[in-house]
Amino acid sequence: MEQEKNKQILVLGLDGAGKTSVLHSLALNRVQHSVAPTQGFNAVCISTEDSQLEFLEIGGSKPFRSCWEMYLSKGLLLIFVVDSADHNRLPEAKKHLHQLIGTNPILPLVVFANKQDLEAAYHITDIHEALALSEVGNDRKMFLFGTQVTENGSEIPSIMQDARDLIAQLAADMQ
């Protein structure tokens, strides 16, 4: 029975947004930059006080994006990571996000407006607007966090710890 349940937390977003860096930092509780672009899939298991969370990152480069929707039906919730300073590609990120969530009106959504450390980064209110997050649907739980993965080895910012707690809670609610 257990195996039949959806357990995976999907981590999607354009290439270079910071998906791997965010995931590894959440797992280690330490800031950890990604060293290489993800080819294909990256599975990360994170233990919390009362559960194990399985995260699946699917590479964001074009050839892998067609895989995204296939995995959506198996996901507990969707984490969508954007590079807040990559203004030019926000419309593309928005398009993909809306395509993804369009297939599932209740899948909870957690958006990481990443790279908040960069001077050019849009504030989360602008990211909310650029990604049209007010249009994700009334029946969907949606959360937006401003995140940054900066000094390697330092403790992750408290907002990322909060995000991890929230994700664990949402995942528990969905099971």
Binding residues: 13-20, 38, 60, 114-117
Q: Which residues are bridge partners to 155 per DSSP?
A: 30
**CA 14 to centroid of chain Cα atoms:** 11
Q: How would you class 47 by CB atoms within 10 Å of its CB: exposed for 0-12, middle for 13-18, buried for 19 or more?
A: exposed
Shorter beta-carbon distance to ligand G3D: residue 151 or 173: 151
Shorter beta-carbon distance to Mg ion: residue 38 or 116: 38
Which partner, ligand G3D, Mg ion, none, binds residue 117 by CB below 5 to 8 Å per kind? ligand G3D
Residue 98 CB, nearest approach to ligand G3D (Å): 19
Of 174, 171, 109, 167, which is closest to residue 137 (Cα–Cα)?
A: 109
Question: Does residue 1 contact residue 169 with C-beta atoms inside 8 Å?
Answer: no
Listed in sequence order, the residues at least 6 apart from 131 whose beta carbon sits closer than 8 Å to its beta carbon are 82, 90, 93, 94, 97, 111
- Which residues contribute to the site for ligand G3D (CB under 6 A)? 13, 15-21, 33-34, 37-38, 60, 81, 114-115, 117-118, 148-150
21 binds Mg ion per the rule CB under 5 A: no
Residue 32 CB, nearest approach to ligand G3D (Å): 9
Residues forming contacts to Mg ion in the complex (CB under 5 A) are 19-20, 38
